Structure 1
Amino acid sequence: MPRSSGGRANWDDLPPRPNGRSRAMSASTAPPVGNLPLGQPTWCLGTHASQPREPSIGIVVPVFNEAGILQSALERLCQAAGTLPVVIADGGSTDGSARIARRFFHTEICPRANRGEQLNRGAQCLTTDVLLFLHADSRLPERFVAHVQQALQDASVVGGCFQLRFDQSHPMLRFYCWFTQFPGRFFHFGDQGFFVRHEVFEQMGGFRSLPFMEDVDFLRRLRRYGRFAVLPVPVVTSARRFLRRGVIRQQLGNILLVTLFELGVPAERLARLYPHIR
């Protein structure tokens, strides 16, 4: 797997595919459509291609002091992602998270722990048609690639997310997860795994550098560019924050913060007033 080089991920350093081709090729030597390496344009090349290939997907995972769960999380991600390019964006962890991440994927070290900036840094390393942003403690569903590609067959869809399921059972958590099947703006957050067309991400200017609520802000702006799809399968995410503070208390705090943010209270002010809720 590629190691961090302080810049963009160098996918040329990866070992050859089983058919002997490297992961990166110029368009002049590109194989037939259907075998194009990830990161290359997915639409018809030359005059011999008869139909477009499915859009390629790259994954970005922000990390900060996650050593306790990172080993097992990245082992699962390795199995789920297969040959997809994955970038870990570490926010300057002090617990060895970056060292663990480098065993699995290309790892970028960011100057500070700011999730929006970390996600942008990871996205800069990828040239795939679609960017999928995944929290370290969220697990992708089976056949997630097919679900994302199917949703993006509709040209009006610019991005989307998965539904949500927690790894712990609690009536309040199940009730909350039930709402994530609906497209409303109050029902979707970063732990559900946002995906977006790369070109739209660039047009948006990526994530904003907010102390938190970067996912709510991103989704609000993304909806201006087209339709947002909610896929019919869930990611499974950790309920640790809810269990640590109390499920009902954490959920009510989340609702309060999102409501105030949507009413126009700056994220910086909310971060000062309610640092314990995040």
Structure 2
Amino acid sequence: MVSIIIPCYNEANYIEATLKQCFSQIGDFEIIVVDGGSTDYTTKIVENYPSVVLISSIKGRSNQLNKGAETSKGSILLFLHADTLLPPKAIVSISKAFKNEQVVGGSFYLEFDKYHVLLFLYSMLSKINHSFFTYGDHGIFISKQVFSEIGGFKNVSFMEDAEIQKSARKKGKFVKLNLGVETSVRRFEKSGYYKQFFQDMLIAILFKLGVDTEKLKRYYPDHS
């Protein structure tokens, strides 16, 4: 079974569409929403879906993702952002990938809900199976056994998605599926397309150079 784990904080504008897309999937899965103390209607929306496991956590993506993993029943963990829609047959494709015993995890590539030339480039780069081009909004999945072996997500406020890949990719094969998740362009619309694009590239480069994640977080504020 695949456990879909969705961390949330004030995601009332997006969570319902994400849940509906999850429920449209074929295959064996469960949905776990981990709320970080939302002050809007996020939890009330989730409560309209009785089969969704809703749990509370201290705000912070690493904390929320780890708590969701602790609650999960599946042998595969899929970490999904609240504003990101899974492609059709996502669960089937993940399950198929794990038929290769060398596979320990992987991700989808990234698509956006609006077109811009920079976002098209962003999407093309996200098809490259390398940690530099793979992040949490791509829909990272990992076997629960490997997740446990590497100690889950590090207790950091930022770049937890890149940190976990350091360990997971050493354990076996990390795959990039030929399917795209669709995410919101809200960060780009708020900050400006060019500014956000080059800021993301700079953050990725600085992270690879070893700059502390707490310093990098100042340049990547929360959505809400």
Query: 1:67-78 residue pairs with structure 2 within 5 A?
Result: 67-78=12-23
Q: Percent identity?
A: 35
User: Letter of the aligned partner of 1:62 in structure 2?
Assistant: P
Is residue 137 of structure 2 the alignment partner of residue 191 of structure 1?
yes
CA positional deviation for 1:119: 0.5
Is residue 30 of structure 2 the alignment partner of residue 80 of structure 1?
no
Long gaps (5+) in structure 2: none
Please give the secondary structure, in 2, of the residue aligned with 1:148.
helix
Check the 8 A contact 1:254/1:277 in 2, yes or no: no
User: Letter of the aligned partner of 1:91 in structure 2?
Assistant: G
Please give the secondary structure, in 1, of the residue aligned with 2:128.
coil
Please give the secondary structure, in 1, of the residue aligned with 2:131.
coil
TM-score, structure 1 length as denominator?
Answer: 0.75
User: Letter of the aligned partner of 1:59 in structure 2?
Assistant: I
Higher helix share: 2
Query: 1:122-161 residue pairs with structure 2 within 5 A?
Result: 122-161=68-107
Please give the secondary structure, in 1, of the residue aligned with 2:132.
coil
User: Letter of the aligned partner of 2:93 in structure 1?
Assistant: H
Please give the secondary structure, in 1, of the residue aligned with 2:142.
strand
- Higher relative CO (Cα under 8 Å, sequence separation at least 6) belongs to 2
**Counterpart Cα distance in 2 of 1:88 and 1:125:** 10
CA positional deviation for 1:96: 2.4
Structure 2 match to 1:219: 165
For the aligned residue pairs, the C-alpha RMSD in angstroms reads 1.6
Structure 2 match to 1:66: 11
User: Which of residues 54, 57, 62 in structure 2 aligns to 1:107?
Assistant: 54
User: Letter of the aligned partner of 1:66 in structure 2?
Assistant: E
Structure 2 match to 1:263: 209
Is residue 122 of structure 2 the alignment partner of residue 176 of structure 1?
yes
Distance 1:145 1:73, change over 3 A: closer
User: Letter of the aligned partner of 1:166 in structure 2?
Assistant: F
User: Letter of the aligned partner of 2:19 in structure 1?
Assistant: L
User: Which of residues 185, 189, 194 in structure 2 aligns to 1:239?
Assistant: 185
Residues 103-153 of structure 1, C-alpha deviations (whole Å, 9 max, x = no match) = 221111112x20011001111111211011111111111111221122111
**Superposition misfits of 4+ residues, deviation over 3 angstroms:** 275-278
Query: 1:11-50 residue pairs with structure 2 within 5 A?
Result: none
Long gaps (5+) in structure 1: 1-55
CA radius of gyration, larger in: 1
Distance 1:275 1:144, change over 3 A: closer
**Counterpart Cα distance in 2 of 1:239 and 1:207:** 25
User: Letter of the aligned partner of 1:213 in structure 2?
Assistant: M
Check the 8 A contact 1:163/1:234 in 2, yes or no: yes
Structure 2 match to 1:98: 43
CA positional deviation for 1:74: 2.0
Distance 1:145 1:107, change over 3 A: same
Query: 1:193-208 residue pairs with structure 2 within 5 A?
Result: 193-208=139-154
